[in-house]
Amino acid sequence: MRACASTSWPVSGKGAVPGGDKIPSLGGLEGPGGTTAQISGGGYGSSFVAVPGRPGWFYGVTDRGPNADDLGPLGEKVFLAPTFNPRIGVFQLVGAKLVLQRTIGLKAPDGTPYNGLANPVTKAAASAEKTEDLYGNQIDPAVPYTVPGSNPAVTLDPNNGYDSEGVVALADGSFWISDEYGPFITHFDKNGTELERLSPWGTNAGHKVDSHALPIELKLRTKNKGMEGLTVTPDGRTLGGIMQSALTVSDYGLDAKGKTVKPANVAPVRIVTVDLRTKAMHEYLYLLTNPATTVSAVSEITALSDTKFLVDERDGSQGAAGTATFKNLYEVDLSGATDVKGDGVNPLGYTVATANGQKSIDAYVGDAPTAKAELLLAQAGITPVSKTPYLEIGTVLNQLDPSGAFFSHDKIEGVAAADGGRTLYIANDSDFGMDHLLGQDEAACEASALSDTTACAPVKSATSGKYLVHQKTLDASGAVDDGEVLKVDMSKLPIVLGAATVTIRY
């Protein structure tokens, strides 16, 4: 697709107007009161990397596609455009805009386009995700799905379902892309056709699964929180992937309230490295910053050297005026960290001996705050990767604009580093401008912080029979969330944040 005036992302600077020229909408959905909610075309911020050898060019990747939360009693995820083909966007930086020059759709080995439907392995996962379509039809990840009303009939194979989250661009033009479902790490050629796949599940129908599997404990990924970030070392030899949160293990204990510990409150997160020549793998622990209180998770990992990486850890909040959100970059170093790759037999992976028998790392640490979690791991002879503050994005944005309107996205997910990390390009995942189904009593639903399942129970259109949708907007500006990139020059305007001095380059 050739670039035109309406196919660009803005690169934010002082005085920038969020939005600017837009990538065309992917279509409209029925909203409240006869309105139309547009599906944003700018959903390329799940990961963001520089094109090797082409200054000013970048790749962005979408996730599985437009979806919304059913906040009613079912609590399911709703596919708004089931035929969406996850894809890579090729962008050129022209002035203050990233212009979408073309897209590369992801395809199975036989050339069939990938879709975003839940992959069959998710049915067997420790935290299976339940999904439906806009008519309320349940989508079984083990059964081919025929799109209602399609003529001729369009049937999608869930085996080709992929929730792409992290992208790596190699010098030979090929890509590696991580996924939240399996989780998988898949190699694609320059045209987006699958070449090989790394999987904790072993052989998977219709895919070229490499005999070198990912650690089997990754099967226990928490729902919608699989392999969130992916990078490659500057020498192009080693992949580094990171999970979004702790695993959903079977041996969790009880929290202070007498309930089973929630994975979202557990600090240790897995980093996996893969030697691209030998497929030798290693596994390390990254500790989230008190996730029970910060509500944080990992969104990206970006290599600075063979052992040093930037990790993007964030909450899910847009924040409020005068309040800094928790969206931080940390520099981590794998040197000296303990390899916790399991034996490939125990489904819990690496375990720790306790008075009550062997326990998984996640259950052994439980919901202990980060400092205590690190102490517990030390007592077990485990050293996590080191972690140093690099850039407190939420703090900087709040200082630049206390109203909260500047780059006020909830999901900061793509981080491209240039000049050894001195210049950063930070992209947001806009969720295609969609968030949840319209509730029966939307005002009460919103007032309950989207937790009243009665008020939030979805309503259907009397004419089409489809659910009505609620548009995702930015609270501070009222604009529909869309793709945007923030350029950060780490050498300007000293704002002291831990060991780093940073600024935004205008």
Judge if the upstream peptide bond of residue 152 is cis by omega within 30 degrees of 0: yes
Which token pair is 296? Answer: 């944080």
Place of tokens 């002879």: 381
Is 244 within 8 Å of 299 (Cβ atoms)? yes
Question: CA-based angle 212:275:299, to the nearest 5?
Answer: 95
Rounded to whole angstroms, how far apart are CA atoms 188 and 64? 16
Judge if the upstream peptide bond of residue 183 is cis by omega within 30 degrees of 0: yes
Helix H or strand E segment including 270: strand 268-275
Cα Rg, the chain, nearest whole Å: 22
Please tell me the predicted confidence (pLDDT) of residue 123: 85
Dihedral over alpha carbons 317, 323, 327, 330 (to 10 degrees):
-160
Which token pair is 34? Answer: 């006869």
Rounded to whole angstroms, how far apart are CA atoms 235 and 210? 22
Q: Please, how many CA atoms are within 13 Å of residue 469, restricted to the half-sphere of its CB?
A: 29
Dihedral over alpha carbons 363, 364, 365, 366 (to 10 degrees):
30
Rounded to whole angstroms, how far apart are CA atoms 44 and 3? 16
Strand order, beta sheet including 131-133: 138-139, 131-133, 77-79, 67-69, 434-437, 469-471
Sequence-distant (6+) residues with CB within 8 A of 487 are 11, 12, 13, 423, 424, 425, 426, 504, 505
Which token pair is 275? Answer: 């030697």
Residue 371 is given by DSSP the state: H
Which token pair is 181? Answer: 């479902």
Which token pair is 206? Answer: 């219709």
pLDDT in single tens digits along all 506 residues of the chain: 222 323 455 665 433 334 446 789 999 999 999 999 999 999 999 999 999 999 999 999 999 999 999 999 989 999 999 999 999 999 999 888 899 999 999 999 999 999 999 999 988 888 888 999 999 999 999 999 999 989 999 999 999 999 999 999 999 999 999 999 999 999 999 999 999 999 999 876 679 898 888 999 999 999 999 999 999 999 999 999 999 999 999 999 999 999 999 999 999 999 999 999 999 999 999 999 999 999 999 999 999 999 999 999 999 999 888 889 999 999 999 999 999 999 999 999 999 999 999 999 999 999 999 999 999 999 999 999 999 999 999 998 988 889 988 899 999 999 999 988 989 999 999 999 999 999 999 999 999 999 999 999 999 999 999 999 999 999 998 999 999 999 988 887 444 333 333 333 32
Is 339 within 8 Å of 285 (Cβ atoms)? no
Place of tokens 């803005």: 10
CA distances from 406 to 44, 253, 482, 483 (A): 19, 42, 13, 13
Is 229 within 8 Å of 312 (Cβ atoms)? yes
Please tell me the predicted confidence (pLDDT) of residue 12: 54
Which token pair is 434? Answer: 């969609």
Is 133 within 8 Å of 149 (Cβ atoms)? no
The sign of the torsion formed by the CA atoms of 468, 27, 117, 48 equals: negative
Q: Please, how many CA atoms are within 13 Å of residue 437, restricted to the half-sphere of its CB?
A: 31
Is 347 within 8 Å of 217 (Cβ atoms)? yes
Please tell me the predicted confidence (pLDDT) of residue 10: 63
Q: 372 by DSSP, 3-state: which?
A: helix
CA distances from 491 to 189, 401, 488, 498 (A): 37, 20, 9, 15
Q: Is 42 exposed, middle or buried (0-12, 13-18, 19+ CB in 10 A)?
A: buried
Rounded to whole angstroms, how far apart are CA atoms 107 and 121? 19
Is 247 within 8 Å of 221 (Cβ atoms)? yes
pTM to 2 decimals? 0.93
Place of tokens 């939360």: 69
Rounded to whole angstroms, how far apart are CA atoms 197 and 203? 10
The string of DSSP letters for 106-131 reads: -B-TTSPBPB-SPPGGGGTSTTPPPE
Rounded to whole angstroms, how far apart are CA atoms 227 and 211? 19
